Amino acid sequence: MDPTKAELKYLPGMGPARSELLRQELGVTTLDELVHCFPYRYVDRSRFYKISEIDSPSVYVQIRGRIVGFRQTGEGRAARLIAQFSDGERTIDLVFFKGIQYVLKSYQPGVDYIVFGKPNLFNGVYSFVHPDIETPSPDKLTGFMPLYHTTEKMKNKFLHSKALQKFIYLALRQMAGSVRETLPAGLIAQEHLLPLETALQQIHFPANPYQLDKARERLKYEELFYVQLAILRQAHNVRSRYRGHVFARVGDLFNRFYREFLPFQLTEAQKRVLREIRADMGSGVQMNRLLQGDVGSGKTIVALMSMLLALDNGYQACIIAPTEILATQHYESLTRLLQGLPVQVGLLKGSVRKKDRTGLHEGLRDGSLQILVGTHAVLEEEVVFRNLGLVVIDEQHRFGVAQRARMWAKNPQPPHVLVMTATPIPRTLAMTVYGDLDVSVIDELPPGRKPVTTWHVYENKRQQLQNFMRQQLQAGRQVYVVYPLIDESEKSDMKNLMDGYDSMCEVFSEYPVAMVHGRMKPVEKEEQMRRFVSGEARLLVATTVIEVGVNVPNASVMVIENAERFGLSQLHQLRGRVGRGADQSFCVLVSRYELSAETRKRLSIMTETTNGFEIAEADLALRGPGDLEGTMQSGLPFRLQLADLAHDGDMLQRVRRAAQAILEQDPLLTAPQNALLLEQLHLKSQGVVDWSAIS
C-alpha cells in the first residue's frame, strides 16, 4: 500500500469527523492531497521583535514577555478583554472579543509567554487582536512557521491553521521516503529543481528563506509545466490531424495589389507579419495564428493581403466580424481597396434579405464569390463554400473556440485560420492561454499618427470640459461620451446614461445626438450607430457596446464618465475609438474626487502612455491576471495554485521550452520514458482540490 494514499482519518488525533470535514471543505481525503494544501504565508519565528520595533501592520511578528495586567470593558457583545503585555521595555495591548473566560483561566500575569500575530493599527496605536500565545519551551518550532487558510466551518471544529500545521507535519513524517517523483529525473537535473519530497517538506516547514524559495520554485515549475505540456500536446494533435492547404504561389492578385493598389507603404511590422503568415500557409500544415496589434495598427490590410494569397492559389476566403456594423465597415473598406481588381466580395449579415441571401449562397457554392465578409451568420450550416482556404476572425474575444471549430468544419480539409485581436494580451498570458495558436504581433503604428492626448479631470470641471467639446464640434469633429453600464440591469447606471443623454441634448442643442446601449433592440442600435458613423449625429452617448473596432476617423474626442469604474484595458479600447484620423484627438477621463490609490494609478497610467502592451503589462501588475485571466481561465486545462501569471513570466518561458523539447522528441508522449508525464497529465486534469472554497 502506498503510504501517500493513506486516508486522513488514520492520522493520529484526526478521527472520522474531522477528516470528513476536510473532505467537504477542501476536497482532500489522502495524505498526499493534504500536503498539497500549501501555506499562504509564514511567520518568521527565528527572531523576537521588540514592541518598539513594530512598525507595520502587515508583517507577522513574535514578541517575548509577560502579561502585566488584565482589563475588561463593555458588556454582552461589546465585551472586551485587554491584556497588557510587556517585553520589559514597553507594553502593547492584546485584545480579545471571544473566549474571554478561557483566556483569563489559561494565562497568568508574571509568566513568560511568546505572543505572535499581525499587529493591528488603530488610531495610531498598535495592538494584537486574538494573537497566539505560547509558553516558551526548548523544543518549540523555530524558523518559519506556516499559516494556512481555513474555512469558517473548519475553525468551528478547531481545525484552524495550527491544527492543520500539526496534521501536515504528521502526514509528511508518515510519507517520508515514499513520495513518488512527479517530474522526470532528467528535467529535475537540467532545471536544478528540488525533488518533490524535499519541496513538500520545505514549503511547509522551510529551514530558511532560500529553501523556501527553492521549494516554491519547484512546485510552481511543476504546475506550469503540466499546463504547458497539456496545451502544446493538444495543439500538436490538432496540427498533425489536419493537413493544411498549401498556398505555394504568390500570384497575380497579390502582386498587382501590392504594386498598384496599396494606398500606403506597409510598416516593417506589417511586412514581417505577412511573411510569417505566408510561411505558415505554405507549410502544408493548417495555420492557426493569432495576430495581435494595437487599435489602429493596420491589421485589416494584413488580412486582406493574406486573403489575396488564398485567392491566387484558387481558394476562397472569408472574414468574420463580431457585429454588423464592423462587418459592414470591413465590406466597404475591402471593396474600396480592391476596386479595379477582378475580385468578387460579398457581405452576409443577419439582416440580409432572403432573396439576396440566396444569391450569396450560390456564389459561394459555385466559387464565383471569392471573398465573403460576414458576422456570425456565416457560421450557419446553409452557408457552404466551394473551397474555403482561409478564415480571418476579427476581434477574437467575442468569438470562442467552439465557433472557430465550426468554421473548420466548412471544408473537408479545414481552412487556415487567422485570428486578429486588438486586446493587448501580455506575452505570458498569450503563451499560456493561446498555447494552441502561434502569435504574431504588429508592434508599430503607421507613420504620422498623433498619439491621443489624455487628461484626467474631476467632475467639478464639467463646464470647462463642455467648452472644449464645443470647440471641437465647431471645428466639425464628432464626440463620444461613454458611461459605465457594467451590469445592464443596474437601474442607477441606466439613469446616469439617460441623464447624460438629456444633458448633452440640452447643452449641445444645435447638434444631433445619438445614443446606444446594450438594452436596445439590435435594429435600433444599428440605426443609432449608423447615424453617428455617417456623420449625421455629431455626438454619441453610449455604453461600452462601442468598445470594439468601430472606425469613425472624424471623431476626435472621447469623454469617459465615471472613468474610475473602468478597467485599464477597457479604457484603452475605448480610447482607441479616437485618433484614427490625421488630426490631434483627445481622451478625457472624468472621475469623482475621492479615489483609491490603485484607481489613481490606473488613471495616471492612461495619461502617461498610449502603448497597449505597456498598459496591459501595467494592468497585470496592478491587478494580477484578474479579469483578463478570468475570461481565459476556461482556456487553461487546470487551475494554478502557486504560480501567478502576472509575475512568473520568466519561469513560464523556461517551462515552455522544456515542454516543447520533450514534445519534439515524442509528440504524443507514448514513449516508455514519458509514461510518467502522461500519467501526471491525466491525474492533474481531474482537478482534485477546489481552492475556491478556502477563505
Does residue 322 bind ligand ADP (CB under 6 A)? no
Does residue 579 bind ligand ADP (CB under 6 A)? no
Decide if 174 contacts 31 (C-beta within 8 A).
yes
Does residue 293 bind ligand ADP (CB under 6 A)? yes
Shortest spacing between CB 533 and ligand ADP, in angstroms: 14
CB of 62 or CB of 423, closer to ligand ADP: 423
Cα→Cα distances 177→184, 195, 215, 483, Å: 18, 11, 17, 61
Q: Residue 24 has which C-alpha cell?
A: 467537504
Q: What are the φ and ψ backbone dihedral angles of 291, each rounded to 5 degrees?
A: -105, 110
Q: Are strands 112-117 and 119-122 parallel, antiparallel or unpaired?
A: unpaired
Shortest spacing between CB 420 and ligand ADP, in angstroms: 7
Does residue 272 bind ligand ADP (CB under 6 A)? no
Choices 4-12, 16-24, 293-301, 619-627 (CB under 6 A): range interacting with ligand ADP: 293-301
Q: Are strands 316-320 and 388-394 parallel, antiparallel or unpaired?
A: parallel
Does residue 422 bind ligand ADP (CB under 6 A)? yes
Does residue 423 bind ligand ADP (CB under 6 A)? no
What b-and-e string marks burial along 435-466, b requiring 16 or more CB atoms within 10 Å of the CB? bbbebbbbbebbeeeeebebebbeeeeeeebe
Does residue 300 bind ligand ADP (CB under 6 A)? yes
Choices 263-271, 396-404, 505-513, 671-679 (CB under 6 A): range interacting with ligand ADP: 263-271
Cα→Cα distances 118→56, 84, 305, Å: 9, 16, 61
Q: Residue 246 has which C-alpha cell?
A: 498549401
DSSP secondary structure string, 389-422?
EEEEEESGGGS-HHHHHHHHTTSSSPPEEEEEE-
Which position among 10, 97, 122, 264 is part of the footprint of ligand ADP (CB under 6 A)?
264
CB of 422 or CB of 655, closer to ligand ADP: 422
Q: Which helix (H) or strand (E) holds 233?
A: helix 209-241
Shortest spacing between CB 449 and ligand ADP, in angstroms: 8
d(CA 228, CA 225): 5
Question: What character string, x for contact with Mg ion (CB under 5 A) and - otherwise, covers 548-577?
Answer: -x----------------------------
Q: Select from ligand ADP, Mg ion, none the partner in contact with residue 267, using the beta carbon and a kind-dependent cut-off of 5 to 8 Å.
A: ligand ADP
Site residues (CB under 6 A) for ligand ADP, limited to 632-691: none
d(CA 89, CA 358): 91
d(CA 507, CA 501): 10
Sheet with 316-320, strands from edge to edge, namely 345-348, 371-374, 316-320, 388-394, 416-421, 288-293, 438-442
d(CA 285, CA 241): 9
Question: What character string, x for contact with ligand ADP (CB under 6 A) and - otherwise, covers 539-558?
Answer: ------------x-------
d(CA 680, CA 182): 7
CB of 446 or CB of 635, closer to ligand ADP: 446
Q: Are strands 416-421 and 288-293 parallel, antiparallel or unpaired?
A: parallel
Tell me the Cα Rg of the chain.
Answer: 31
d(CA 516, CA 530): 11
Does residue 426 bind ligand ADP (CB under 6 A)? no
Q: Select from Mg ion, ligand ADP, none the partner in contact with residue 541, using the beta carbon and a kind-dependent cut-off of 5 to 8 Å.
A: none
Site residues (CB under 6 A) for ligand ADP, limited to 437-456: 446
Question: What character string, x for contact with Mg ion (CB under 5 A) and - otherwise, covers 499-538?
Answer: ----------------------------------------
Site residues (CB under 5 A) for Mg ion, limited to 531-550: 549
Question: What residue is closest to ligand ADP based on CB?
Answer: 298
For Mg ion (CB under 5 A), the number of binding residues is 1
CB of 146 or CB of 293, closer to ligand ADP: 293
Shortest spacing between CB 275 and ligand ADP, in angstroms: 15
Shortest spacing between CB 451 and ligand ADP, in angstroms: 14
Q: Select from Mg ion, ligand ADP, none the partner in contact with residue 635, using the beta carbon and a kind-dependent cut-off of 5 to 8 Å.
A: none
Question: What residue is closest to Mg ion based on CB?
Answer: 549
Cα→Cα distances 526→318, 333, 514, 534, 550, Å: 23, 18, 11, 12, 12
CB of 421 or CB of 478, closer to Mg ion: 421
Does residue 295 bind ligand ADP (CB under 6 A)? yes
Shortest spacing between CB 371 and Mg ion, in angstroms: 16
Q: Select from ligand ADP, Mg ion, none the partner in contact with residue 266, using the beta carbon and a kind-dependent cut-off of 5 to 8 Å.
A: ligand ADP
Decide if 507 contacts 531 (C-beta within 8 A).
no
DSSP 8-state secondary structure symbol assigned to residue 12: T
Q: What are the φ and ψ backbone dihedral angles of 455, each rounded to 5 degrees?
A: -120, 150
CB of 233 or CB of 577, closer to ligand ADP: 577
Shortest spacing between CB 599 and ligand ADP, in angstroms: 27
Does residue 603 bind ligand ADP (CB under 6 A)? no
Cα→Cα distances 367→294, 345, 352, Å: 34, 11, 20
Sheet with 586-591, strands from edge to edge, namely 453-458, 586-591, 555-560, 478-482, 539-542, 513-516
In residues, how long is the chain? Answer: 695
Choices 49-57, 183-191, 288-296, 632-640 (CB under 6 A): range interacting with ligand ADP: 288-296
Shortest spacing between CB 575 and ligand ADP, in angstroms: 12
Does residue 202 bind ligand ADP (CB under 6 A)? no
Choices 2-10, 120-128, 299-307, 585-593 (CB under 6 A): range interacting with ligand ADP: 299-307
Shortest spacing between CB 551 and Mg ion, in angstroms: 7
Does residue 296 bind ligand ADP (CB under 6 A)? yes
DSSP lists the bridge partners of residue 559 as: 481, 588
Q: What are the φ and ψ backbone dihedral angles of 352, each rounded to 5 degrees?
A: -70, 135
Which position among 62, 267, 313, 370 is part of the footprint of ligand ADP (CB under 6 A)?
267
Task: Determine the residue type at 501.
Answer: Y
CB of 244 or CB of 293, closer to ligand ADP: 293
Shortest spacing between CB 437 and ligand ADP, in angstroms: 18
CB of 51 or CB of 304, closer to ligand ADP: 304
Shortest spacing between CB 301 and ligand ADP, in angstroms: 5
Question: Residue written as cell 498539497?
Answer: 36
Shortest spacing between CB 445 and ligand ADP, in angstroms: 8
Does residue 411 bind ligand ADP (CB under 6 A)? no
Choices 217-225, 266-274, 614-622, 646-654 (CB under 6 A): range interacting with ligand ADP: 266-274
Which position among 227, 232, 301, 548 is part of the footprint of ligand ADP (CB under 6 A)?
301
Choices 22-30, 258-266, 275-283, 649-657 (CB under 6 A): range interacting with ligand ADP: 258-266
DSSP 8-state secondary structure symbol assigned to residue 378: G
3-class state of residue 328 by DSSP: helix
Question: Distance from first CA to last CA of the chain, Å, rounded?
Answer: 34
Q: Which residues bind Mg ion (CB under 5 A)?
A: 549
The site for ligand ADP (CB under 6 A) is made up of 264-267, 270, 293, 295-301, 422, 446, 551
